Homo-oligomer: A and B are copies of this chain.
């Protein structure tokens, strides 16, 4: 089932205005939200409206909050987001990092007391659009167990990096867990057993029961998802575990915010933290040569010999750019349940609902 992209944009902007956000703010939130649908990252797209609705109406998201700079140097800032919508604190923070990178070569901005910020690559690509390297990280509620642990201590903790290149920006955006939480939910819905090495039960025993793992996560009853590299150390699970700690270091620890194990533990606020950096790679050498070298390296990878049975190697960001080109003036997928829930939200907020399924 699909809906028209332009109509979805209009609807979301109107809806966010109805919550009390300004037109400009509503445009920003909508743009981040729909970028996920354009990129094919459905879990972070319009499907999230329902959860955002709950967070906004419950007051967990403060509609009137403005991010506040608590520490600043020529190359850095620490922001208190005051429970603002994650997208607004994040666009503000990345713009600040970009500005610093343009004047000082590099800008690093850490953000505390924010909320879910959508896809990490939205922000890194703000930097690459200015011909800068962009970095973005966010912590989330703890759902990832340490190597040899049975209690979730870190979140899916995404890391993203974008570097200008032709014909596609290199845009890496991934959780530091073996899979994101949404993937477990798909296995649960389909009554499918989880692959080995993905998750543990409340005792820390390897567990293939998707429903049990998801229910334990929701109830904060123990167990959780394995870090990238899986359970134990055989396939490098300790590496993913370390990367998730690094995300908490840059987003929560240096900002004075809450680490993943304290996120979503207090009513009234999530406490999510982010990190943004922009680097003018021209401080290292000639920008054209560096960008050309990146483009060449990526092209060599795409052109390298494929495995038997595969006819294409994608570099990061390529698939998303292709999908966006198709969808931006066309339509985006949506499931029936989400569409129904959006209709209910529209009624509740007295907003016109003109989103026919196509």
Could you tell me which A residues sit within 8 Å of B by CB distance? 70-71, 73-76, 78, 104-106, 108, 110, 133, 145-151, 153, 161, 163, 170, 172, 174, 178-179, 195, 197-198, 200, 203-205, 222, 228-230, 234-236, 238-240, 242-243, 245-246, 248-249, 252-256, 259, 261, 279, 281, 283-285, 289-290, 293-294, 297-298, 300-301, 304-308, 310, 312-316
Contacts and interface: CB of A to CB of B under 8 A. Distances in A.
A294 B106 contact: no
A179 B236 contact: yes
A229 B197 CA distance: 11
Contacts of A246: 161, 172
A41 to B, nearest CB: 14
A235 B79 CA distance: 35
Contact of A71 (B161, B254, B283, B308): B283
Contacts of A146: 301, 304, 313
Given A228-B228, A236-B179, A239-B228, A222 B78 contact: no
Contacts of A289: 256
A142 B78 CA distance: 39
A246 B135 CA distance: 11
Contacts of A279: 108
A49 B147 CA distance: 33
A150 B305 contact: yes
A235 B285 contact: no
A205 B305 CA distance: 12
A111 to B, nearest CB: 11
A245 B283 contact: no
